[in-house]
Amino acid sequence: MGFYREQIVPRIIDRACGGPDMTPLRQQTCAGLSGVIVELGFGSGLNVASYPPEVTLVHAIEPSKVGASLSAARVAGSAIPIEFSGLRGESLPLEDDSCDGALCTFTLCTIADVDAALLELRRVLRPGAPFHFLEHGIAPDEGIRRWQRRLDPLQQRLADGCHLTRDPVGIVRDAGFRIESHESSYRRGPKPWVYFTFGRAIAPQDKVKTPPSRFTPSGE
């Protein structure tokens, strides 16, 4: 599965998540961000065209070398500086309170230790900073949920750990963020995969203290 995971999955995601029908959702998710932001799961840079002009720097967090390679043209054409600043959301090589906002799209479903990643996000965000997310997840209809539970083991194998059954709003709230607003609905496509949630959350005022030994320089 190594070649498939490393070489094929990033290209599938680039195609599956890069259609024109996704553009309005990405624009909605990025709207309102400003200053220095950190993007978890930068992928192939599908959000680059939707960054508001008020954003001054993007710290891109992306473990896939192929994903980063696929983003090259988008990064080169961006008017906003983009720095690849880490490989894993669970260990961000960024200073405390160094980011004015955070962004992730279709990422919370895949991070192995999503709780640790969100605690890291709390650490690097200044108090009261916005966190915008666009995710798929567990559906409200029991019939669809049953299918999601059945398909989840296969989904994780075929999509590099992606879960169909996570609740993005609950995950963000349980990490201590205040949910400011969220909207959920089915989009076009097979229902187990297309129950999407767009949310805006606020970083809490209290800071998480994590031992420095957890953090490693970018690229290590």
pLDDT digits 0-9 by tens, 77-134:
999 999 999 999 999 999 999 999 999 999 999 999 999 999 999 999 999 999 999 9
Give the residue among 103, 102, 85 at the shortest CA–CA distance from 94: 85
Digit-coded pLDDT (tens) for 45-68: 999 999 999 999 999 999 999 998
Quote the CA–CA distance of 179 and 172 in Å, as a whole number.
Answer: 8
Beta bridge partners of 133: 104, 199
Q: Is pLDDT at 152 greater than 80 in this prediction? A: yes
pLDDT tens digits, one per residue of 1-20: 588 778 898 898 888 888 88
Asked whether the beta carbons of 125 and 20 are under 8 A apart, the reply is no
Structure letter (DSSP) for residue 99: B
Torsion, Cα 100 164 12 21, to 10 degrees, reads: -70
Q: 168, 137 in Cβ contact below 8 A?
A: yes
Q: What is the CA radius of gyration of the chain?
A: 16
Report how far apart, in Å, the C-alpha atoms of 4 and of each of 33, 69, 73, 128, 139 are: 35, 16, 23, 40, 28
Distance CA 109, CA 111 (A): 6
Question: Which residues are 91's β-sheet partners?
Answer: 88
* CA-angle at 110, arms to 107 and 111, nearest 5°: 85
Given phi > 0 = left and psi -120 to 50 = alpha, else beta, which region is 160? left
Structure confidence by residue, pLDDT tens digits, 170-186: 999 999 999 999 999 99
List the chain domain ranges. Answer: 2-205
Q: For residues 33-37, give the mean pLDDT.
A: 98
**Model confidence at 213, in pLDDT bands (50, 70, 90)?**
very low
The fourth-level CATH superfamily of domain 2-205 is Vaccinia Virus protein VP39 (3.40.50.150)
- Per-residue pLDDT for 159 more than 50? yes
Q: In this structure, what DSSP letter does residue 176 have? A: T
CA distance 116 to 119: 5
Half-sphere exposure of 110 (CA within 13 A, CB side): 26
Nearest Cα residue to 58 out of 91, 94, 17, 16: 94
pLDDT at residue 3, rounded to an integer: 82
**Confidence bin at 214 (pLDDT 50/70/90):** very low
Start-to-end Cα distance in the chain: 23
Place of tokens 């900073």: 129
